[in-house]
Chain A
Amino acid sequence: MPVGAVIEFSNITKRFGDVTAVDDLSFTVEPGRVTGFLGPNGAGKTTTLRMLLGLVSPGSGSATFGGLRYHDLPHPLATVGAALEAASFHPGRTARNHLSIYATAAGLPQARVAEVLHLVGLSEHGGQRVGGYSLGMRQRLGLACTLLGDPGVLVLDEPINGLDPEGIKWIRGFLRDMAAEGRTVLVSSHLLSEVQQSVDDVIIIAKGRLVHRGPLSSLETQVAPQVVVDSPDRAALASALARAGVVFSQGRTGLLATAADPARIGHIAFTAGVEVSALHRQKKGLEDAFLTLVEGSDSL
């Protein structure tokens, strides 16, 4: 059984000209868990992963697997399997030949080619040229490539992009299984909702900087609760809330009171003699927490 290694980023930084793509990132990714690496498009996720894999050289800092840089791994494909967003296939080559080339280059047995094609459900299409593949099939071929060396660490950049619902369900189960076997699984995405059903931990970056890290549940506490309250006489309600010192904003369906208990808002309206037509706690999802964190980075 392959053993997962700890991925460690320490103070890694990358500039492209005047643009700082990745700014002093430090975090660790533990084995046995699925870690979501999240951030909006352009946040620096792909650059960070490419630095981890030795494809892009960091300006400063380092990224290691169990203390070793990718370049120093004795058997890179047997330690780390990586699928990056770019479609890295020659369209005129068959999937089987594509896999066979990299198995040869990494000194892996050719028997693995048929095994990994079977694992990702491409056995019947192995002899087909990749140029004729759908986006979902290419994603699966990318995954097959990561599994060639049966590695303890998986690094997947936007693996859910382009998958059909069945494929999404499949990959969620796949990620959970890989982590349950003790592997380290790092999955990037620009949408939390895409991965929230499969990740244990989240690392969120925006504009190249770390904005949040921790278990998925830690996101919920990030967002202040809000109460939606409305009245036929919204102006009277607003002045009553203002007099009581409640911070609020105008929402589409009423007033949004920040950090408040619905009972207290009801009481304020009652004592002010204002009729209340709606009063409920705003359900904020994880996605909102994620967006708040990411957008909040503007003020950094």
Chain B
Amino acid sequence: MLLRAIRAEFAKLLTTRIWWVLAAVLFGYIGLLSGGLAALFAGIQSGAIDPSAAGTGSQSTPPLGSLPPLVYSFASSVGYVFPVLLGALATTGEFRHQTLTPTFLANPRRAQVLGAKAITLFLAGGAFGAVALLASVGIGALVINAFGVDTLLGDSATWALIGRTLLAMALWAAVGVGLGVLVPNQVASIVIVLAFTQFVEPLLRFASMFTEATAGIGKFLPGAASDALVGASIFTVASPVGGAAAALDWWQGGLVLLAYAAAATIGGYFVSWRRDVT
């Protein structure tokens, strides 16, 4: 029964255009960013670009060896907004287009439908992770290699990072499903996703970095948990307190992100999903 529900949710996802539009934009955005920044940093490291000419100063140049993971992690540290949007659109679309009616007629077990949606989007989020990695690792490594800097693709730690990135992106899509049931209004949901991921959370994370006490709270923010899970991010590198001390372990980060997804989904089930469909 659950398998049937999951297959139906996959069919819903793949029969509208939004998934590939988002995937295409994700690929282009991450590819451009990874390629550009890889060129800048690898250029500085290899000496092809003079640090003073780049205007970055030698201080902000990442230490040798951490550059490839930093570039590869753009897939999730920057790209995570896309699986969240995909998840939020998948749930809010049901409210907006009133497709909850045929959905609940075909399967009146509403909790099962929501569970199937969360599982489906988790898997789709993983696929989005693969697309994002194709851009960040594919294009990033090409550029890094072009400057003669080691891509670290032979390193098992790099592949572990890639695997954890897939998991982070999958969890982010599940967070999106939860947000969608918590805030079923599609426009409101999209505004929240964009405002929180692009503005509110980066500011909070940055502000929390300056003292030990706030850093202890800030590391539980979803974006910080996600970066901890992946293990490298532009944020952890830029932290004045020190990235390692301020971050959770990778598995803790994963559990925190999972907790956000579960709390939002279960909360949303009571807020909107099991309500009257009128």
Residues 81-109 of A, flagged 1 when their CB comes within 8 A of B and 0 if not, give 01010111111111001101110111100
Q: How many residues of B contact A (CB 8 A)?
A: 27
Does A294 make an interface contact (CB < 8 A)? Answer: no
Closest CB in chain B relative to A132 CB, distance in Å: 14
Q: A50-B277, A70-B108 are in contact. Are A104 and B11 (CB under 8 A)?
A: yes
Task: Identify which of B11, B16, B276 contacts A50 (C-beta below 8 A).
Answer: B276
Query: Is B102 engaged at the interface, CB distance under 8 Å to the other chain?
Result: yes
CB distance A106 to B99 under 8 Å?
A: no
Per the 8 Å Cβ criterion, residues 30-62 of B in contact with A are: none
Least CB distance, B21 to chain A, in whole angstroms: 11
Which of chain B's residues have a CB closer than 8 A to the CB of A86? Answer: 98, 101
A88 CA to B105 CA, complexed, in Å: 12
B4: chain A residues at CB < 8 Å are 104-107
Question: How many whole Å from A110's CB to the nearest CB in chain B?
Answer: 10
Supposing A76-B106, A89-B97, A89-B99 touch, asked if A101 and B276 sit within 8 A by C-beta, the answer is no
Q: Report B217 CB to chain A, min CB distance, Å.
A: 40
Query: Closest CB-CB distance, A298 to chain B, in whole Å?
Result: 25
Contacting residues, chain A, for B270 (C-beta < 8 A): none
Contact B108 A97 (CB under 8 A): no
A180 within 8 A of B: no
A55-B16 in contact given A89-B97, A104-B4, A145-B102 (Cβ < 8 Å): no
Q: Is the CB of A105 within 8 A of B16?
A: no
List residues of chain B with CB within 8 A of the CB of A105.
Answer: 4-5, 8, 103, 106-107
Pair B15/A97 contact, Cβ less than 8 Å: yes
Does A57 have its Cβ within 8 Å of any Cβ on chain B? yes
Chain B residues within 8 Å of A73, by CB: 108
Q: A90 vs B11: C-alpha distance in the bound complex, in angstroms?
A: 13
Residues of A within 8 A of B243 (CB): none
Residue ID in chain A nearest B113 by CB atoms: A105
**CB contact list, A107-159 vs B, under 8 A:** 107, 145
At the interface, yes or no: A56 with Cβ under 8 Å from chain B?
yes
- Per a CB cutoff under 8 Å, which of A50, A82, A104, A107 touches B278? A50
Q: Flag if B11 contacts A97 (CB, 8 Å).
A: yes
**How distant is B184 from chain A, measured CB to nearest CB, in Å?**
15
B104 CB–A CB distance under 8 Å: yes
Do residues B102 and A102 form an inter-chain contact, with CB atoms below 8 A? yes
Q: Quick check: is A178 within 8 A (CB to CB) of the other chain? A: no
Bound complex: CA A105 to CA B277 (Å)? 18
**Judging by beta carbons under 8 Å apart, are B105 and A82 in contact?**
yes
B104 touches A55 (CB 8 A): yes
Q: CB of A215 within 8 A of chain B?
A: no
Query: CA A21 – CA B220 in complex, angstroms?
Result: 47
> Is there an interface contact between B278 and A90, defined as CB atoms closer than 8 Å?
no
By the criterion CB–CB under 8 Å, are B11 and A100 in contact?
Answer: yes
| Docked pose: A145 CA to B105 CA in angstroms | 10
**Is A55 touching B276 in the complex (CB atoms < 8 A)?**
yes
> Which residues of B123-169 are within 8 A (CB) of A?
none
Q: How many A-B residue pairs have CB under 8 A?
A: 83
Cβ-defined contact, B276 with A56, below 8 A: yes
Q: Which residue of A lies closest to B97 (CB)?
A: A90
Please name all residues of chain A whose beta carbon is closer than 8 Å to the beta carbon of B278 when the two chains form the complex: 46-47, 50, 55-56
A280 close to chain B: CB less than 8 A: no
The reply to whether the CB of A160 lies closer than 8 angstroms to some CB of chain B is no
Contact B105 A53 (CB under 8 A): yes
0/1 string, B69-80, CB within 8 A of A gives 1: 000000000000
| B17 in contact with A92 (CB, 8 Å) | yes
Chain A residues with CB under 8 A of B7: 104
A102 to B101, CA, bound (A): 11
* B115 close to A (CB within 8 Å): no
Q: Is the CB of B15 within 8 A of A93?
A: yes
A293 within 8 A of B: no
Minimum Cβ distance to chain B for residue A147 (Å): 13
Of A56, A88, A92, A98, most B-chain CB atoms within 10 Å? A88
On chain A, the residues within 8 Å of B277 by CB distance are 50, 55-56
Chain A 36-86 residues near chain B, CB threshold 8 A: 46-47, 50, 53-57, 70-71, 73, 76-77, 82, 84, 86
Residue of B nearest to A148 (CB): B106
A101 touches B11 (CB 8 A): yes
Which chain B residues border A71 with CB–CB below 8 Å?
108-109
Complex-state Cα separation, A100 to B109, whole angstroms = 19
User: How far, in whole Å, are A2 and B152 apart by their CA atoms in the complex?
Assistant: 65
Tell me the nearest residue of chain A to B108, going by C-beta.
A71
Q: Which residues of A contact B12 (CB under 8 A)?
A: 101
User: Taking the complex as formed, is B93 at the interface, i.e. its CB lies under 8 A from any CB of chain A?
Assistant: yes
Assembly CA distance A98 to B93 (angstroms): 14
Contacts of B276 in A (CB 8 A): 50, 55-57
Interface residues of A, Cβ cutoff 8 Å to B:
46-47, 50, 53-57, 70-71, 73, 76-77, 82, 84, 86-94, 97-98, 100-102, 104-107, 145
* Known contacts A55-B104, A71-B109; 8 further A-B pairs (Cβ under 8 A): A50-B276, A56-B278, A76-B105, A77-B106, A90-B97, A98-B15, A102-B102, A104-B11
A-B contact pairs, 8 of them (CB 8 A): A70-B108, A71-B108, A77-B106, A93-B16, A102-B106, A105-B106, A105-B107, A107-B4
